Amino acid sequence: DAGVIQSPRHEVTEMGQEVTLRCKPISGHDYLFWYRQTMMRGLELLIYFNNNVPIDDSGMPEDRFSAKMPNASFSTLKIQPSEPRDSAVYFCASSFFGHGDEQYFGPGTRLTVT
Protein backbone atom coordinates (compact mmCIF):
# COMPACT_ATOMS: atom_id res chain seq x y z
CA ASP A 1 0.00 0.00 0.00
CA ALA A 2 1.21 3.52 -0.75
CA GLY A 3 0.32 4.78 2.70
CA VAL A 4 -1.86 7.79 3.42
CA ILE A 5 -1.80 10.22 0.52
CA GLN A 6 -2.38 13.94 0.90
CA SER A 7 -2.59 16.70 -1.65
CA PRO A 8 -1.43 19.30 -2.22
CA ARG A 9 1.83 19.14 -0.26
CA HIS A 10 2.09 22.90 -0.16
CA GLU A 11 -0.59 25.54 -0.55
CA VAL A 12 -0.14 29.29 -0.54
CA THR A 13 -3.27 31.37 -0.75
CA GLU A 14 -4.53 34.83 0.03
CA MET A 15 -6.76 35.66 2.93
CA GLY A 16 -10.42 35.16 2.07
CA GLN A 17 -9.85 32.42 -0.48
CA GLU A 18 -11.27 28.93 -0.21
CA VAL A 19 -8.80 26.14 0.50
CA THR A 20 -9.46 22.43 -0.01
CA LEU A 21 -7.12 19.78 1.35
CA ARG A 22 -7.44 16.18 0.21
CA CYS A 23 -6.68 12.81 1.76
CA LYS A 24 -6.73 9.19 0.64
CA PRO A 25 -6.50 6.81 3.63
CA ILE A 26 -4.93 3.37 3.64
CA SER A 27 -7.26 0.84 2.07
CA GLY A 28 -9.18 -1.14 4.69
CA HIS A 29 -8.78 1.42 7.46
CA ASP A 30 -12.14 2.33 8.95
CA TYR A 31 -11.00 5.49 10.75
CA LEU A 32 -9.75 8.75 9.30
CA PHE A 33 -8.39 11.67 11.28
CA TRP A 34 -7.60 15.29 10.42
CA TYR A 35 -4.99 17.08 12.54
CA ARG A 36 -3.46 20.54 12.56
CA GLN A 37 0.10 21.16 13.76
CA THR A 38 1.54 24.51 14.81
CA MET A 39 4.58 25.45 16.86
CA MET A 40 2.41 27.08 19.52
CA ARG A 41 -0.27 24.44 19.97
CA GLY A 42 1.40 21.27 18.76
CA LEU A 43 -0.71 18.56 17.11
CA GLU A 44 -4.46 19.03 17.51
CA LEU A 45 -7.23 16.70 16.40
CA LEU A 46 -9.77 18.55 14.28
CA ILE A 47 -12.24 15.81 13.34
CA TYR A 48 -12.38 12.08 12.80
CA PHE A 49 -14.58 9.70 10.83
CA ASN A 50 -15.58 6.08 11.30
CA ASN A 51 -16.84 4.31 8.18
CA ASN A 52 -17.24 7.68 6.46
CA VAL A 53 -19.38 9.12 9.27
CA PRO A 54 -18.07 12.08 11.33
CA ILE A 55 -17.77 10.98 14.95
CA ASP A 56 -16.29 13.98 16.72
CA ASP A 57 -15.80 17.41 15.20
CA SER A 58 -15.32 19.26 18.48
CA GLY A 59 -11.79 20.17 17.46
CA MET A 60 -12.88 22.10 14.38
CA PRO A 61 -12.00 25.67 15.32
CA GLU A 62 -14.76 27.58 13.56
CA ASP A 63 -17.59 27.27 11.10
CA ARG A 64 -15.12 28.26 8.43
CA PHE A 65 -13.79 24.72 8.65
CA SER A 66 -15.68 21.76 7.22
CA ALA A 67 -14.77 18.17 6.42
CA LYS A 68 -16.39 15.47 4.35
CA MET A 69 -15.79 11.85 3.60
CA PRO A 70 -17.96 10.87 0.63
CA ASN A 71 -16.50 7.37 0.43
CA ALA A 72 -14.01 5.08 2.13
CA SER A 73 -11.08 6.23 0.00
CA PHE A 74 -11.41 10.01 0.02
CA SER A 75 -11.81 12.90 2.43
CA THR A 76 -11.58 16.67 2.17
CA LEU A 77 -10.95 19.44 4.66
CA LYS A 78 -12.18 22.82 3.49
CA ILE A 79 -11.50 26.27 4.89
CA GLN A 80 -13.72 29.06 3.63
CA PRO A 81 -12.79 31.87 3.94
CA SER A 82 -9.18 31.33 4.92
CA GLU A 83 -7.34 33.59 7.37
CA PRO A 84 -3.63 34.05 8.14
CA ARG A 85 -4.05 32.30 11.51
CA ASP A 86 -5.04 29.14 9.63
CA SER A 87 -1.44 28.81 8.46
CA ALA A 88 -0.21 25.45 9.73
CA VAL A 89 0.60 21.92 8.63
CA TYR A 90 -2.51 19.77 8.23
CA PHE A 91 -2.15 16.02 8.58
CA CYS A 92 -4.47 13.23 7.67
CA ALA A 93 -4.12 9.85 9.41
CA SER A 94 -5.96 6.54 9.27
CA SER A 95 -6.26 3.40 11.37
CA PHE A 96 -8.12 0.11 11.51
CA PHE A 97 -9.66 0.85 14.85
CA GLY A 98 -10.32 4.12 16.60
CA HIS A 99 -9.37 4.67 20.19
CA GLY A 100 -5.70 4.11 20.88
CA ASP A 101 -5.04 2.16 17.70
CA GLU A 102 -1.84 2.70 15.76
CA GLN A 103 -2.38 5.60 13.41
CA TYR A 104 -0.66 6.02 10.04
CA PHE A 105 0.03 9.58 9.02
CA GLY A 106 0.25 11.20 5.63
CA PRO A 107 3.07 13.62 4.74
CA GLY A 108 0.94 16.66 5.52
CA THR A 109 -0.10 19.80 3.66
CA ARG A 110 1.74 22.98 4.59
CA LEU A 111 -0.77 25.81 4.30
CA THR A 112 0.30 29.44 4.18
CA VAL A 113 -2.37 32.13 4.13
CA THR A 114 -1.07 35.61 3.34
Partner 1 sequence: KQEVTQIPAALSVPEGENLVLNCSFTDSAIYNLQWFRQDPGKGLTSLLLIQSSQREQTSGRLNASLDKSSGRSTLYIAASQPGDSATYLCAVPSGNTPLVFGKGTRLSVIA
Contact flag: residue 105 with partner 1 (CB under 8 A): yes
Binding-residue pattern over the window 23 to 62 for partner 1, x denoting contact by CB under 8 A:
--------x-x--------xx-x--x-------x-x----
Instruction: Tell me: does residue 91 bind partner 1 (CB under 8 A).
Output: yes
Parallel, antiparallel, or unpaired for β 65-71 and 104-105?
unpaired
Nearer to partner 1 by C-beta: 59 or 81? 59
State how far the alpha carbon of 20 is from the alpha carbons of 24, 48, 58, 100, in Å: 14, 17, 20, 28
For partner 1, the closer CB: 33 or 65: 33
Q: Which long-range contacts (CB under 8 A, 24 or more apart) does 100-105 make?
A: 101/31, 103/33, 104/3, 104/4, 104/26, 104/29, 105/4
Residues lying near partner 1 in the complex (CB under 8 A) are found at 4, 31, 33, 42-43, 45, 48, 56, 58, 91, 93, 95, 98-108, 110
